Amino acid sequence: MHNLFIQYIFLILIILALVMFANRLRLAYPIVLVLGGLALSFTSTFSHITIDPELVFFIFLPPLLYEAAWQTSWKEFYKWRRVITSFAFPIVIITSCVIAYVSYATIPGFTLALGFLLGGIISPPDAISATTIMRQVKVHKELVSIIEGESLLNDASSLIVFRFALATVITGQFHFQEAIGSFFLVIIMGTLIGLAIGAIFFAIHHWLPTTPGIDIILTLVTPYCMYYAAEQFHFSGVLAVVSGGLLLSSQRHRMFSYRTRIEGVNVWASLVFVLNGLVFMLIGLQLPAITSQLGDISLGSAIGYGLIISLALIVTRILCTLGASVFTTFMSRFITVAEAKPGWRNPLIVGWAGMRGVVSLAAALSIPLLINGDHPFPYRNLILFITFIVILVTLVFQGLTLPWLIRKVKPTAPHNTIPDHKQELKMQHKIVKTSIQFLEEKFGEHWRKNDHLKNLHERFTLDLKFFTEQLEESANANENTLKNFQLVYLEMLEQQRKALLAMNHKTEYDEELIRKYLSLIDMEEFKIREKLVDDAS
């Protein structure tokens, strides 16, 4: 145990180095981590580290899903609900069917039940790698919202398909009506359990005298409670975490104080970064163990099967996303849709951003070794190897070519979208105007007699004039003026920081108070630099 812990410490240090290397090369870090894990798998130090399906499903998956649901905009999720649900459910089922028949026709001795099992394993895309890549290339946030929303639901639908196919292989029987009923029962009950537990934790956060530390620890516990409760009754733990996470996310300003929100973001960002890093590194480390279990099937044949299945998977997803665009255009004649004419550019990019990840590999590893305790599970090792090839091909090949495709295709923005810089100016204008109205309505003319209120009113008045002028200027003028202002403001913040550090050398000043104001400066710098990064991307 001691040696294993030390190895994981070294593994985390290697992950940090590879992420820095990926940032320097301007590559998505999931790709570099998988390739790094692949290289480490040939060393004696890390080659024995394997993925435990229980570890992925019960340790890694709940917090990753919860954080994804927490970061998802409910407004965007609802706006694109039809697209997201069509990708997460019908397309997953269509993909499973296509993979079932392709594998049945390609692999000698492969049954349709095994094909559906393989389809359920590899049908859900992994959104972490896709959104990481898309954020490094200038792409509209609507595409990222669709892919993130899809990722919240497709794991649930694919794992349900996997369960039914696994039961069919083991029992040799499949009852269609029973499967359909169970499918909807698993979905509905998993969602209800998540909402119920989410409501309980909302009451705890809202009514009990919690502190920021207690609140943050409770958020770490919440996804596990949701997942375990649903899985205990054989419902969808994935949907329980997603539905509960979306509920609590929409109520964050009623549950948490400002300190909890600020500190919680930092804790969760660090935790999810480490978990994601370990997950992608562990994928690459599995190659020797998977290859050694192929048995009678030659390595060349297994690679060939994996490439054929990968090609079928990529083509099916692209055809499905393009078909969904055609169907949306047709249905826009009868119902209101988020985008009446999606075209082919955005659906093509979403279709190409279908990289597979650790959920697929964990599902494949969870296939039992024996059926009824005495018969080996048919083609288990081949299914595991094909899953690894699919992850490697889609993650590396599609991941490396996705930025190029985005630049070539040039995705279109929805017609009703206001440019980001324009939105920010309108928000800032509204905030300042509301502040002035509040001061004048609450204090009347008395604010003029209070020097502090008078200074505040004058500052807001100047800001209002500035933002009003900016809104009347051209877009390019807005960007240049704001960027110059931001750069000057950053220099000013650095001078403020130096002044406080100089005061800290004097004994009459309390260091705790100095740190308080340094933290305020850090938050101001964080806001400005995040804006600069967004504008540059």
Q: Per residue, what are the HEC states of 490-535?
A: HHHHHHHHHHHHHHHCCCCCCHHHHHHHHHHHHHHHHHHHHHHHHH
Q: How far apart (Å, rounded) are the C-alpha atoms in residues 192 and 244?
A: 9
pLDDT, averaged per 10 consecutive residues of the chain (537 residues), comes to 78 93 86 88 77 77 87 79 82 91 92 90 79 69 80 79 82 70 85 95 93 94 95 88 91 86 88 88 82 79 93 94 84 70 83 84 81 78 90 88 85 66 77 85 76 82 80 58 77 90 86 85 82 63
Q: What is the DSSP letter of 27?
A: -
**Pair 247, 192: CB distance under 8 Å:** no
What distance lies between CA 490 and its chain's CA centroid?
A: 30
Type of residue found at 101:
Y
Type of residue found at 277:
G
Q: Quote the pLDDT of residue 216.
A: 94
Q: How far apart (Å, rounded) are the C-alpha atoms in residues 286 and 49?
A: 8
Q: Quote the pLDDT of residue 72.
A: 79
Q: What is the DSSP letter of 371?
A: E
pLDDT tens digits, residue range 321-347? 998 888 877 777 777 666 767 778 888
Q: Quote the pLDDT of residue 396.
A: 87
What b/e readout covers 410-432, taking b as 16+ CB neighbours within 10 angstroms? ebbeeeeeeeebeebbeebbeeb
Taking CA atoms, 344 is separated from 124, 126, 322, 357, in Å, by: 22, 22, 6, 26
**Pair 87, 324: CB distance under 8 Å:** yes
pLDDT tens digits, residue range 274-319? 988 888 888 888 877 788 777 778 888 899 999 999 999 999 999 9
What distance lies between CA 245 and its chain's CA centroid?
A: 13
What distance lies between CA 449 and its chain's CA centroid?
A: 52
pLDDT tens digits, residue range 114-171? 999 999 899 888 766 666 676 666 677 778 788 888 877 887 778 788 888 888 888 7
Q: Radius of gyration (Cα) for the chain, nearest Å?
A: 26
Taking the CB of residue 220, how many other CB atoms lie within 10 A of it? 15
SS3 375: strand
Q: Quote the pLDDT of residue 75.
A: 78
**Pair 518, 493: CB distance under 8 Å:** no
Q: How far apart (Å, rounded) are the C-alpha atoms in residues 519 and 102?
A: 58
Taking CA atoms, 397 is separated from 179, 392, 404, 523, in Å, by: 36, 8, 11, 38
Q: How far apart (Å, rounded) are the C-alpha atoms in residues 11 and 398?
A: 26
pLDDT tens digits, residue range 208-223? 999 999 999 999 999 9
Taking CA atoms, 96 is separated from 72, 111, 113, 366, 517, in Å, by: 27, 14, 11, 18, 56
Q: Quote the pLDDT of residue 306.
A: 93
Q: How far apart (Å, rounded) are the C-alpha atoms in residues 85 and 305?
A: 30
Q: How far apart (Å, rounded) are the C-alpha atoms in residues 388 and 287?
A: 8
Taking the CB of residue 251, how many other CB atoms lie within 10 A of it? 15
Q: Which of 408, 406, 412 is nearest to 339 (CA)?
A: 412
Give bridge partners of residue 371 from the DSSP assignment. Answer: 375
